[in-house]
Amino acid sequence: MGLLDREFSDGNIVIAKTEDLLNWARLSSLWQLSFGLACCAIEMMATSASHYDFDRFGVIPRPSPRQADIIIISGTVTLKMATRIKRLYEQMPDPKYIISMGSCSNCGGPYWEHGYHVLKGVDRVIPVDVYVPGCPPRPEALLEGLIKLQEKIRHETLRKKTA
- Residues found near another protein in the complex (CB under 8 A): 33-39, 41-43, 45-46, 49-51, 61, 63, 65, 75-76, 78-84, 88, 107-108, 110-120, 124-125, 135-136, 138
Contacts 24+ apart (CB under 8 A), 149-156: 149/27, 149/30, 149/70, 149/97, 149/99, 150/27, 150/30, 150/57, 153/23, 153/26, 153/27, 153/97, 154/1, 154/23, 154/24, 154/27, 155/23, 156/19, 156/23
CB nearer to another protein: give 43 or 69. Answer: 43
Of 126, 118, 124, the C-alpha closest to 87 is 126
CB of 115 to another protein, least distance (A): 5
CB of 58 to another protein, least distance (A): 18
CB nearer to another protein: give 50 or 162. Answer: 50
- The gap from C-alpha 21 to its chain's centroid, in whole angstroms, comes to 20
CB of 27 to another protein, least distance (A): 25
Spatial neighbors of 60 by CB under 8 A, at least 6 apart, are 29, 31, 32, 54
- In the three-class reduction of DSSP (H, G, I as helix; E, B as strand; rest coil), residue 71 is classed as strand
CB of 148 to another protein, least distance (A): 21
CB nearer to another protein: give 17 or 86. Answer: 86
CB nearer to another protein: give 63 or 127. Answer: 63
CB of 28 to another protein, least distance (A): 23
Q: Are 57 and 30 in contact (CB under 8 A)?
A: yes
CB nearer to another protein: give 30 or 126. Answer: 126
